[in-house]
Amino acid sequence: MHYLTRPCWLGWILVGGDPGFERLAADAVRLVKAPGAPVDLPLDPRGTAFEQRVWQALRDIPIGSTAAYSDIATRIGEPHASREVAQACAANPLAVVIPCHRVVRRDGTLGGYRWGTRRKRALLAREAAGRAAS
User: Annotated catalytic residue: which of 32, 72, 100, 103?
Assistant: 100
For 36-90, give the DSSP string.
T------------HHHHHHHHHHHTSPTT--EEHHHHHHHTT-TT-HHHHHHHHH
Task: Please choose, from the candidates 61, 59, 51, 83, the residue with its C-alpha nearest in 3D space to the C-alpha of residue 70.
Answer: 83
Is 89 annotated as catalytic? no
Beta bridge mates, 13: 6
Catalytic residue IDs:
100
